[in-house]
Structure 1
Amino acid sequence: MYTTDEHDNRYDIEMQVADHHNLAQRVRYYQAMNVLDAYDKGANYHDANNSYVIFICCFDPFQRGAQFYSVNKHLNEFPDYRVLDGATDIYLNATSPRHEVPPRLQTLLDLVAHRGSGQTDEFGVKLKKKIAAVKHNKEWRADFMRLSLYEMDREYELREAKRRGMEKGIRQAVKENHLKLINGLIGLGYSKQEVIDFLTTYMHTAVTEAE
């Protein structure tokens, strides 16, 4: 989920179920995307708003036992001195039994982790009603299934191609999944130019190939 607040601070909120041991690198990528969006053409650097990348994880991302981790820059020679560049990385460990976050966020993490605690408050009741409504929305379920199948197909094909050491197979799997993705974007109403922009920006596809 990508959103902004009333001060135009930017928030990118992601879910991560499995630990692929590349979370910090992924967060750096999302921060870069937030920053590019924050700087309007010709704007002063001081006018850039804060950027937050928040990962809700179904595992402990740093294996330190905490429920809440936040990352900001600091000087290596003076660890207590923070460099205020406006970027903050936040990692939430939904599996932790600790209660280190505000009550409503705790309720959300409890729901993610399928825990019973904290879900009887008003916020928890609203969340569960929303989840139930979404699960019974046929259009959403169809989109979700298509995306889930795409992800599973992509992971399977790439894993098999890598296992066999077939570079050609990897390229073919990527091409086929790009076609699946394009069909999915068209089905969701994306225009041709929007699809091309998506492929070049987020999939790092060359413009000629995207076209």
Structure 2
Amino acid sequence: MLLNIQIENIRLARPEKTLDVDFCAKEIRLDVFVKNETDRSYDIEMQVIGKKHLSLRARYYQSVLDISSLHAGDDYECLTESYVIFLCLEDIFHKGIPIYTFKSVCIEDSSLFLDDKTTKVFCNAIKYNKMPVEKLRTFFKFLVEKKPDETEFSKTLSEKVLKAKITEDARRTYITLEQEIRLAAKHAAQEAFEEEYKKASENEKLENSRKMKAKNIPDDIISKCTGLSLQQVQEL
């Protein structure tokens, strides 16, 4: 709907896809990475907070998409179309346009486009009422108002969000429980170690005390040297 293109089927879709192109390079984590049947790739970013340097971020994301898709020995013509899409909850360009689409265009002749197969899209959710099609208006209205209206599409979105939240809550509960189990096991192991150490230390003190008593060293001196009480020394 955003790009006004037909997608026959999705070949690959990964949420929170991490791309790391070089040991020294900055890695990126894509909110949603999608490829269709023609290997056209899409990065979809939900931008809730933070609008600084989004244009530079889009540039870097698109370059990483290209590097990760072009393998050693491949020709440049192997590069497929790629789209970086930011779903923004505010108008980052302050022009009142619902969808900002950027392609490389010649400054001297605006009818001449650089066919580098890259597109960057920034969606302005607060202008949902100006979106070109009804489903886009419904979708972005849902993002802004966080509640469904009476349309079937909006209700479907709400159901999917609820299902995702339940899954996320369950995941958090599992992780929390797992952490608690690990923590309890760690504490139990620590306590067991301290108890064994305490026993070993006590036995060592008793043994040293016996050796000192065998040499007729006074009990009060033994007590001070070993840390045992005077009564413990006398009972040996």
Length-normalised TM-score, structure 2: 0.55
| Structure 2: gaps of 5 or more residues | 1-31, 177-236
- Picking from 85, 102, 106, the partner of 1:71 is 102
CA 1:124/1:76 → structure 2, altered by over 3 Å: closer, same or farther? same
Match of 1:48 in 2: 79
Residue 165 of structure 2 is aligned with which of 127, 131, 135? 135
Please, what is the CA RMSD of the aligned residues?
A: 2.4
After superposition, residues 7-46 of structure 1 pair within 5 angstroms as: 7-46=38-77
Conserved in 2, the CA contact under 8 Å of 1:66 and 1:98? no
C-alpha distance in structure 1 between counterparts of 2:41 and 2:170, whole Å:
29
**Partner residue of 1:109 out of 117, 140, 143:** 140
Q: How many corresponding residue pairs?
A: 144
Q: CA deviation at 1:123?
A: 2.5
> What's the counterpart of residue 120 of structure 2?
89
State which drifts further: 86-95 or 76-85: 76-85
SS in 1 for 2:126: coil
Structure 1 length as normaliser, TM-score? Answer: 0.61
> Please, which runs of 5 or more residues in structure 1 have no aligned partner?
146-211
Cα distance between partner residues in 2 of 1:91 and 1:97 = 13
Trace 1:126-165 onto structure 2 (pairs within 5 A): 126-137=156-167, 138-141=169-172
**2:106–2:113 CA contact under 8 A, matched in 1:** yes
1:14-38 CA-to-partner distances (Å, cap 9, x unmatched) read 0112343211011011101111122
User: Which sits farther off after the overlay, 101-110 or 128-137?
Assistant: 101-110
The Cα shift of 1:57 comes to 0.3
AA aligned to 2:162 is: A
Could you say which residue in structure 2 is the equivalent of 1:6? 37
State how far apart, in whole Å, the 1-side matches of 2:85 and 2:55 are.
11
Q: Does the 8 Å CA contact 1:71/1:90 hold for their aligned counterparts?
A: yes
Change (3 A) 1:112 1:33: same
Aligned partners of 1:68 and 1:60: how far apart in 2?
10
- Please state if 1:124 is matched with 2:154: yes
Deviation track 1:40-66 (CA, whole Å, cap 9, x = no partner) reads 322221221100000000110110001
Q: Distance in 1 between matches of 2:89 and 2:175?
A: 19
Question: Offset of 1:115 from its aligned partner?
Answer: 6.7
Contact between 2:128 and 2:141, CA under 8 Å: does it hold in 1? no
Change (3 A) 1:141 1:128: farther
Preserved CA contact (<8 Å) 2:40 2:81: yes
8 A Cα contact 2:147 2:158, kept in partner: no
User: How far did residue 126 of structure 1 move?
Assistant: 1.5
